[in-house]
Amino acid sequence: MARYVVNRLAQAIMLLVIVSAIGFALLHLAPGGPLSQFAASAQMTQEDLDRVTKQLGLDRPLPIQYLDWFGRMLKGDWGKSYRDGEAVLSVISSHLGATLELMATATIIAVLLGCWIGILGALRRYSLFDSLATVGAMIALSIPTFWFGLVTIYLFSIKLGWLPAGNRQTIGDGSFLDLLHHLIAPSMVLALVETAMWGRFMRSSMLEVINQDYIRTARAKGMPEWRILTVHALRNALLPMITVAGLQFPTLLGGALVAETVFTWPGMGRLFLDSIGYRDYPVVMGILMFSATMVLIGSLLADILYAVVDPRIRVG
């Protein structure tokens, strides 16, 4: 088991280095470059640009810049924002709570609703419910998140006035009920695609399990159906979902970026887009590395947990 964990950890670290190198190169080679925001100022002279270039170390070869940035990042120095000079880690941490709040709520909704739909669809295969669930999942997977968000705002905020159109809280309020009221719309929009994916995966996993020989044997012994489903079928059907949970994290991050933009939610997704528009490259790289690290950690934990419950994985 220890050898399996070490191998997966080494692969994750290598992948993280590759992601950081590619991201750093793409940002610095993009049109405009890191100096574009400074050059846009009418008061900035060529001498000022040269001074800023030297201060930021942008006059050095790109590989040297990357190695210097990567070394400082490992020591906890992720640089400072071009916008206000604040430390990148402080900027990210100030927006992280809002994103985690949105993602956690959407995940809980998607897991509970998706697993229920998947289990019921497997037990009532080819029924009207199963057919409607299949069609609904295909529609949900086909609808762009931003479009569904705009429709939600139009219907429930503008027309009906039930939900706020955006932001995390009402100015001057900040109560728990107010926070919950603002959280409903973006979390439901973010959970839409996740619910469809969890439902389809759970249906397939449950169908595979209930057709196994040990399920038929349990029925032949006269075991109650509820006990067969809960103790034997459901427990084994949930095992592949551990891996699915790890693989869903990148989708959640991408969906959060869109949902936060549509609902002006003050999370990391909104910060990422604002930083790109401002050409605040230290913050953009910080968010990229933080997101990549979280994705790899999620995938690594899912693999380790799956190896714990299924010894065949770590033996192989």
What is the band of 126 on the pLDDT scale with cuts at 50, 70, 90?
A: confident
Whether the pLDDT of residue 121 is over 70: the answer is yes
Q: Does residue 37 carry a pLDDT above 80?
A: no
**Average of per-residue pLDDT across 33-46:** 68
Q: What phi, psi does 87 have (nearest 5°)? A: -60, 140
What's the confidence (pLDDT) of residue 132? 92
pLDDT on residue 254: 76
With cut-offs at 50, 70 and 90, classify the pLDDT of residue 18.
Answer: very high
Q: Give the mean model confidence (pLDDT) for residues 27-52.
A: 72
> pTM of the prediction?
0.79
Q: Are 244 and 298 in contact (CB under 8 A)?
A: no
Write the DSSP string, 149-189.
Answer: HHHHIIIIIIIS--S-SSSSS-TT---HHHHHHHHHHHHHH
Residues 119 and 314: their CA atoms lie apart, in Å, by: 29
Residue scoring higher pLDDT (256 or 250): 256
Q: What is the pLDDT of residue 21?
A: 92
Tens digits of residue pLDDT in 128-180: 998 999 998 888 888 888 888 899 999 998 988 888 888 888 877 778 888 88
User: Considering the chain, what percentage of its residues have pLDDT values greater than 70?
Assistant: 91
Assess whether pLDDT exceeds 60 at residue 312: no
Which range has the top average pLDDT, 26-35, 179-188, 249-258? 179-188
The pLDDT, as a whole number, for residue 257 is 81
The mean pLDDT value for 107-131 works out to: 89
CA dist list (Å): 108 to 64, 87, 113: 44, 32, 8
Full 3-state SS string of 43-107: CCCHHHHHHHHHHCCCCCCHHHHHHHHHHHHHCCCCCECCCCCCEHHHHHHHHHHHHHHHHHHHH
Calpha distance 258→256 (Å, rounded):
5
Interval 61-82 mean pLDDT: 88
pLDDT tens for 295-309 read 888 777 777 776 666
